Amino acid sequence: AQKVTQAQTEISVVEKEDVTLDCVYETRDTTYYLFWYKQPPSGELVFLIRRNSFDEQNEISGRYSWNFQKSTSSFNFTITASQVVDSAVYFCALSEEWAGYQKVTFGTGTKLQVIP
């Protein structure tokens, strides 16, 4: 069975600090996809990144970067020079596909508070 663990329930940082959100996953599949979503205080869920299991390249998008390591089953998310607008709950998710079916498992989320 697939599982996603976000061990950090809440993190507080001061504005301009860097912060890393951890995500550890379990899956028996060799083909799978990992995602990060952001849920700001307004409540909507916003897609941030998608990564497949065959692509271990790290990715950078502005102040956001992602470190995917299959050896440790981790897909960590780093925000550089955090800003108040980064305050949100961040979810990591895992999607497996087998026999034409596609199940998605989310982690329990990490609430990030950026203090001005």
Question: Least separation, in Å, of the C-beta of 98 and another protein?
Answer: 11
List the one residue from 20, 72, 108, 113 that touches another protein (CB under 8 A). Answer: 108
* Other beta carbons within 10 Å of 2: 16
Is 70 a binding residue for another protein by CB under 8 A? The answer is no
> At residue 58, what are phi and psi to the nearest 5 degrees?
-70, 155
Identify how many contiguous H helices and E strands the chain contains and give both numbers. 0, 12
Residue 101 neighbours by CB under 8 Å, 6+ apart: none
CB 83 → another protein: shortest distance, Å? 23
Residue 113 binds another protein, judged by CB under 8 A = no
Q: Is 72 helix (H, G, I), strand (E, B) or coil?
A: helix
Of 56-64, 65-73, 77-85, 99-107: span binding another protein (CB under 8 A) = 99-107
- Rounded distance between C-alpha atoms, residue 90 and residue 112, angstroms: 7
Residues that bind another protein (CB under 8 A): 6, 9, 31-33, 35, 43-45, 47, 50, 52, 91, 93, 95-97, 100-109
